[in-house]
C-alpha cells in the first residue's frame, strides 16, 4: 500500500520539483552603502534574506564588526565573550559580518541577534550572482524569533570589508530598503499565496497566525481603498498517464487537473489532497463572490473563521462546515440578526436577505463557482490560479508557500504583521501612505534613543523626533495647533498665531508686581521683539523702562545717602561752630570774673550764655 502511494507522491512532487528547477526565481535585493573607510565608499547590492525583519521602506546605519573568532557565527558568541551591543546607549548599532557555510543562515542570524547585533551581513563563499538566503525546513526553531534583518553580500565586497576590518579600519555601512519595492501609484496591490491545509506544521501555523494578526489591518487598508488584495492558491496537476491511479484520485479533483499533497503524507488516513483542493477552491470562491459584491475583505473573515471552526484535527474540515461559515459571514455584528440566523441555521430555514439587511454571501453563487469536483472539465477559477503561478515581469514563479507578493515583487522576510505592514507601507510613494503606516504599530522606537538626535525642548516636553515606519524623522512639531519651524535638529521655534501661548514663543518674559511684560508679540508671526521702551535681543533679555526705574531708585538712594551725609556733616559743622562760640563765651565769662568788662557787654554775654546753655 505504502509503496505505490509513495511512488505516486514522488511523481507529483517530482513534477513540482521539475517546475521548481525551471522556475524563474527572482532574488530580491536592497542596497548596501559603505560610508567608511574612504577607499570602499559606494553603493553595492545585497540580497534580502527570507527570514528576520527587513526594514522595508527604511534604512539602518551601523558599524560593521568582523568577529575575531566564531567567524561563521555557527556557535553562540557568548562562548567567545563577544558582544555586538552598541558601546553607548543611543550609539550607532553594530552589524556583524560573518562567513557563509557550516550551519543554517537562520542559526547565524540567531547567534548574531543574541549577541546584540542589529543586522547580519553574510559573505558569500564563492564568486556567483547573489542568492536568496532561505529558511530551511529543518533547524527552524529560531525562525519565529529572529527579528534582525539579514543580507547576503558578494564574496568580492565581503573580502574587501574583511581586509579592511583586519587592518583595524572603522567600517560603517548603511543598509537601504527604500527602493526594494516599487511604488508606482497610490494603491498597493498585494497577493498572498496560501493554503487551507492546517496540518502542515510550522509553515501552516505561521500562515494562520499571520491571517489572525493581520486581518484587521488588511481590512482597514482594503476598505479605504489603499490596497487591492488577492489571495492565491497553488495547485499541481497529475501526469496524464496517472490520472486514473488511486493516488491521483485521492490527491486531485476534476480528473487529475488540480492536485495538492496529502496533508498527512499518507493516503490511507485522514484527509486527502483533494479535500485540500476543494477547501482552497471554496476560499477562492468566497473571495471572488465577495469581491464581486464590493466586499473583498470578507475573505479574511472567512479564512480566519474557517480555521477556527473547521480544523482537521477535530474532523470538521468539511464542505458542510465551510458552508456554515459562509452563511454567518458579514452578519455577525448585528445581534438581532445573529439570533435570527441562529434559528435559521438550527432549523435550516431560509432567511431572505431583505430581512437580514446584510446578506453575507450568496450560497448559490459560491456553489456555482466551486462547480463539480468530479467532472472531467476545467474549473475556470483553478485554471486561472495555475496560470498566475508563473512569474511575470519582475516577479519570479511562485513555488513555495506561503508567498507574499507586493507590487509584483516577492516579499522577503518573516510573515509577521508589523514586518508585512512595513513592506506594504513602503509600496506607497512617500507622503501618500495611509495613516496606519505612521501609527504605533510600525514605529521603530528610534526616538527613545537620545531623542533620535532631533531637537528637544525638555522643559516643555516638545520634541521634533517623529517615529515612522521609515525610521525616525526630525521635523519641527505642531503643538496645540501652533506650528514650530526650524531645521528640526538644532532648532525649532513656534510660529504663527498662538505661538506666544507656548513657552512664550521662546521669547523673554518678566512678571513684576503682577504685571507681565513679554517680548513675544502676537501680531508678529515670528521672532521676539522687546516691547516699546525696552532694548535687547528679546530672547534672553530686554532692558528699558524697567531698568531705568531701577536706576532711578538706586540714584535716589544715593541722593538720600549723600543728603544724609551732607546733613550730618552740616549739622556737625554747626555744632562745632556753636560749641566754639559757647566755649568762647564761657571763656569770656570766666575771664570776666577776673577782669572787669563792660557791664552791658557782660550782661549780654550772660544772656548769651543762658541762651547757649538752653540750646545745648
Ligand X SMILES: *[C@@H]1O[C@H](CO)[C@@H](O)[C@H](O)[C@H]1NC(C)=O
The footprint of ligand X (CB under 6 A) covers 142, 144-145, 230, 288, 291, 296, 461
Q: How far is the CB of 142 from ligand X (least distance, A)?
A: 6
CA distance readout (Å), 584 to 136, 234, 613, 614: 127, 136, 13, 16
Nearer to ligand X, 100 or 295 (CB): 295
Length of the chain: 616
Nearer to ligand X, 129 or 294 (CB): 294
Q: How far is the CB of 434 from ligand X (least distance, A)?
A: 19
Q: Could you give the 3-state DSSP secondary structure of residue 358?
A: coil
Q: How far is the CB of 436 from ligand X (least distance, A)?
A: 20
Phi, psi of 127 (to 5 degrees): -75, 110
Q: How far is the CB of 291 from ligand X (least distance, A)?
A: 4
Nearer to ligand X, 142 or 178 (CB): 142
Query: How big is the CA angle at 41 (ends 36 and 44), to the nearest 5 degrees?
Result: 120
Q: How far is the CB of 80 from ligand X (least distance, A)?
A: 20
B/e letters for 142-168, b = 16+ CB within 10 Å, e = fewer, are: bbeebebbbbbbbeebbebbbebbeee
Q: How far is the CB of 366 from ligand X (least distance, A)?
A: 14
Nearer to ligand X, 152 or 462 (CB): 462
Beta bridge partners of 512: 515
* Sheet of 482-486, strands arranged across: 478-479, 482-486, 492-495
Nearer to ligand X, 63 or 214 (CB): 214
Q: How far is the CB of 406 from ligand X (least distance, A)?
A: 16
Nearer to ligand X, 141 or 537 (CB): 141
- Sign of the CA dihedral 347, 349, 354, 360? positive
Q: How far is the CB of 287 from ligand X (least distance, A)?
A: 7
| 253 Rama sector, left if φ>0, alpha if ψ -120 to 50, beta otherwise | beta
Three cell numbers written together for 192? 498572498
* DSSP run (H or E) holding 10: helix 2-22
Nearer to ligand X, 247 or 444 (CB): 444
Nearer to ligand X, 416 or 433 (CB): 416
Q: How far is the CB of 110 from ligand X (least distance, A)?
A: 8
Q: How far is the CB of 376 from ligand X (least distance, A)?
A: 26
Nearer to ligand X, 142 or 309 (CB): 142
Residue 168 · residue 207 · CB < 8 Å: no
* DSSP run (H or E) holding 35: strand 29-36
Nearer to ligand X, 60 or 447 (CB): 447
Query: How big is the CA angle at 31 (ends 25 and 34), to the nearest 5 degrees?
Result: 140
Phi, psi of 121 (to 5 degrees): -110, 115
d(CA 288, CA 283): 9
Residues 6+ apart with CB under 8 A from 535: 542, 543, 544
Q: How far is the CB of 529 from ligand X (least distance, A)?
A: 30
d(CA 60, CA 54): 10
Nearer to ligand X, 291 or 491 (CB): 291
Question: What stretches of 331-454 show up as alpha helix (H) in DSSP?
Answer: 335-346, 353-356, 363-370, 380-389, 417-425
Residue 174 · residue 112 · CB < 8 Å: no
Q: How far is the CB of 384 from ligand X (least distance, A)?
A: 8
Nearer to ligand X, 479 or 520 (CB): 479
DSSP string spanning 522-557?
A: TTSSSS--PPTTEES-SSS--EEHHHHHHHHHHHHH
Query: How big is the CA angle at 89 (ends 88 and 91), to the nearest 5 degrees?
Result: 65
Amino acid at each position: 500500500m505504502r509503496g505505490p502511494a509513495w511512488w505516486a507522491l514522488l511523481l507529483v512532487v517530482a513534477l513540482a520539483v521539475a517546475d521548481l528547477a525551471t522556475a524563474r526565481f527572482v532574488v530580491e535585493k536592497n542596497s548596501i552603502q559603505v560610508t567608511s573607510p574612504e577607499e570602499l565608499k559606494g553603493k553595492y547590492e545585497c540580497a534580502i534574506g527570507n527570514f528576520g525583519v527587513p526594514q522595508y521602506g527604511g534604512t539602518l546605519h551601523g558599524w560593521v564588526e568582523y568577529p575575531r573568532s566564531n567567524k561563521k557565527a555557527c556557535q553562540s558568541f557568548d562562548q567567545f565573550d563577544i558582544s555586538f551591543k552598541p558601546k553607548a546607549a543611543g550609539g550607532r548599532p553594530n552589524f556583524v559580518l560573518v562567513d557563509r557555510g557550516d550551519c543554517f543562515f537562520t542559526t547565524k542570524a540567531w547567534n548574531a541577534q543574541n549577541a546584540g547585533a542589529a543586522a547580519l551581513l553574510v559573505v558569500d563563499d564563492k564568486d556567483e550572482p547573489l542568492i536568496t538566503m532561505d529558511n530551511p525546513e529543518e533547524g527552524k526553531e529560531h525562525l519565529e524569533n529572529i527579528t534582525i534583518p539579514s543580507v547576503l553580500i558578494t564574496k568580492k565586497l565581503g573580502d574587501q570589508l574583511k581586509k579592511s576590518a583586519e587592518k583595524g579600519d572603522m567600517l560603517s555601512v548603511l543598509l537601504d530598503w527604500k527602493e526594494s519595492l516599487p511604488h508606482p501609484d497610490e494603491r498597493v496591490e498585494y497577493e498572498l499565496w496560501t493554503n487551507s491545509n492546517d496540518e502542515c506544521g510550522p509553515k501552516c501555523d505561521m500562515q494562520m497566525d499571520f491571517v489572525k494578526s493581520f486581518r484587521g489591518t488588511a481590512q482597514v487598508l482594503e476598505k479605504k481603498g489603499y490596497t487591492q488584495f488577492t489571495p492565491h492558491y497553488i495547485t499541481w496537476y497529475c501526469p496524464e498517464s496517472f490520472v486514473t491511479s488511486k493516488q491521483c484520485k485521492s490527491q486531485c479533483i476534476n480528473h487529475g487537473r488540480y492536485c495538492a499533497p496529502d496533508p498527512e503524507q499518507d493516503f490511507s488516513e485522514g484527509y486527502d489532497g483533494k479535500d485540500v483542493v476543494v477547501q482552497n477552491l471554496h476560499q477562492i470562491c468566497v473571495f471572488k463572490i465577495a469581491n464581486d459584491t464590493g466586499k473583498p475583505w470578507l475573505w479574511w473573515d472567512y479564512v480566519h473563521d474557517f480555521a477556527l471552526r473547521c480544523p482537521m484535527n477535530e474532523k470538521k474540515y468539511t464542505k458542510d462546515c465551510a458552508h456554515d461559515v459562509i452563511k454567518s459571514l458579514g452578519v455577525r455584528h448585528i445581534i438581532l440578526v445573529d439570533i435570527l440566523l441562529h434559528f435559521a441555521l438550527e432549523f435550516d430555514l431560509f432567511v431572505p436577505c431583505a430581512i437580514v439587511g446584510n446578506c453575507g454571501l450568496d450560497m448559490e453563487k459560491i456553489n456555482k463557482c466551486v462547480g463539480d469536483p468530479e467532472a472531467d472539465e476545467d474549473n475556470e477559477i483553478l485554471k486561472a490560479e495555475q496560470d498566475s503561478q508563473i512569474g511575470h515581469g519582475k516577479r519570479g514563479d511562485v513555488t513555495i508557500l506561503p508567498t507574499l507578493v507586493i507590487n509584483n515583487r516577492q516579499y522577503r522576510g518573516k510573515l509577521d504583521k508589523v514586518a508585512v505592514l512595513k513592506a506594504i507601507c513602503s509600496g506607497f510613494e512617500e507622503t501618500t501612505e495611509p495613516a496606519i503606516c505612521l501609527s504605533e504599530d510600525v514605529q521603530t522606537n528610534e526616538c527613545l534613543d537620545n531623542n533620535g538626535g532631533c531637537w528637544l525642548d525638555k522643559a516643555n516636553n516638545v520634541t521634533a523626533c517623529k517615529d515612522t515606519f521609515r525610521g525616525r524623522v526630525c521635523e519641527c512639531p505642531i503643538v496645540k495647533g501652533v506650528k514650530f519651524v526650524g531645521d528640526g535638529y538644532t532648532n525649532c521655534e513656534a510660529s504663527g498665531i498662538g505661538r506666544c501661548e507656548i513657552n512664550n514663543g521662546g521669547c523673554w518674559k518678566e512678571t513684576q508686581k503682577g504685571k507681565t511684560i513679554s517680548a513675544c508679540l502676537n501680531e508678529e508671526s515670528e521672532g521676539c521683539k522687546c516691547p516699546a521702551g525696552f532694548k535687547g535681543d528679546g530672547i534672553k533679555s530686554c532692558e528699558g523702562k524697567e531698568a531705568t526705574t531701577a536706576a532711578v531708585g538706586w540714584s535716589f538712594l544715593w541722593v538720600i545717602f549723600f543728603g544724609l551725609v551732607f546733613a550730618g556733616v552740616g549739622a556737625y559743622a554747626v555744632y562745632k561752630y556753636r560749641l566754639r562760640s559757647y566755649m568762647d563765651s564761657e571763656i569770656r565769662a570766666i575771664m570776666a570774673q577776673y577782669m572787669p568788662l563792660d557791664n552791658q557787654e557782660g550782661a549780654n554775654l550772660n544772656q548769651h550764655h543762658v541762651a547757649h546753655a538752653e540750646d545745648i
